[in-house]
Amino acid sequence: MSLRIGDTAPDFKAITSIGEIDFYDYLGDSWGVLFSHPADYTPVCTTELGRTASLKSEFDRRNVKVLALSVDSAESHQGWIKDINETQNTTVDFPIIADQDRKIADAYDMIHPNASETMTVRSLFVISPDKKVKLMITYPASTGRNFTEVLRVIDSLQLTAEYSVATPADWKDGEDVIVMNSIKTEDIPAKFPKGHQVIKPYLRTTPQPNK
């Protein structure tokens, strides 16, 4: 059965570029981003891992730990990291999982046989501190991921986990949000004292409550 949003993220032990880890222990009380790569020494992946490393302060600010996965060996990862650091002018210090037996890739349904029977597609999972899968994005091997979008979605997930709001299309941190329909209009002022706007009975907006 394939993994779905709201499911518990499978735990695992793995050899990585920084040594052996237990996934749950590594995440602790942090949010997590787990994302797969078709193979080491591939051009798109090299840019993706470099971009992720360059965004370390942004992930740290959001209490997010990042892990990458490839079906190649930890030894191969070490050599590849040198190339990433050199070509992308950064320092990769997050773990790259060596999933040579593809057990983790199978648990997270990262291999799509109609795309490739051996290589993972570009799957990305955002996992909350309670170890639930909150987001799944899958790209084909030919298309690099948009990490600005990944950060934007994490902002939305963390905001909506704390407040009874949703984020509209193209929302960015700091913009108005939508009040959930479970809250009656007459109850909005008490919950959201910054004010609100009723556009339609089912569409009510309010300034972002944690700003």
pLDDT tens by residue, 152-174: 999 999 999 999 999 999 999 99
Q: Report pLDDT for 37.
A: 87
130 and 169 in a single domain? The answer is: no
Neighbours of 54 (CB within 10 A): 15
Tally of domains in the chain: 2
2 band by pLDDT with thresholds 50, 70 and 90: confident
Q: Is 9 a catalytic residue?
A: no
Q: Which of 45, 92, 150, 159 is catalytic?
A: 45
**CA 186 to CA 24: how far, in whole Å?**
42
How does strand 64-70 pair with strand 31-37? parallel
Q: Within a domain: residue 6?
A: no
Residues spanned by the domain of 191: 163-206
110 band by pLDDT with thresholds 50, 70 and 90: confident
The pLDDT mean for the chain works out to 93
Q: Within a domain: residue 58?
A: yes
Q: Report pLDDT for 134.
A: 98
130 and 175 in a single domain? The answer is: no
112 and 77 in a single domain? The answer is: yes
Give one DSSP letter per residue of the chain, joined into a string: ----TTSBPPP-EEEETTEEEEHHHHHTTSEEEEEEES-TT-HHHHHHHHHHHHTHHHHHHTTEEEEEEESS-HHHHHHHHHHHHHHHTS---S-EEE-TT-HHHHHTT---TTT-SSS--EEEEEE-TTSBEEEEEEE-TTS---HHHHHHHHHHHHHHHHSSEE--TT--TTS-EEEPTTS-GGGHHHH-TT--EEEETTEEEE--TT-
**CA 87 to CA 73: how far, in whole Å?**
21
Question: Is the pLDDT score of 39 beyond 90?
Answer: no
**CA 71 to CA 63: how far, in whole Å?**
27
**CA 165 to CA 161: how far, in whole Å?**
9
**CA 169 to CA 152: how far, in whole Å?**
11
Strand partners, 122: 139
pTM of structure: 0.92
65 and 134 in a single domain? The answer is: yes
72 and 169 in a single domain? The answer is: no
Q: Within a domain: residue 136?
A: yes
What's the average model confidence in pLDDT over 79-94?
Answer: 97
107 and 183 in a single domain? The answer is: no
39 and 90 in a single domain? The answer is: yes
Q: Within a domain: residue 126?
A: yes
Q: Within a domain: residue 1?
A: no
Give the domain CATH number at 182. 3.30.1020.10
Closest CA to 192 of 206, 180, 204: 206
Q: Report pLDDT for 32.
A: 98
Give the domain CATH number at 126. 3.40.30.10
Find out whether 3 and 119 touch, Cβ atoms under 8 Å.
Answer: no
pLDDT tens by residue, 116-150: 544 555 899 999 999 999 999 998 888 999 999 99
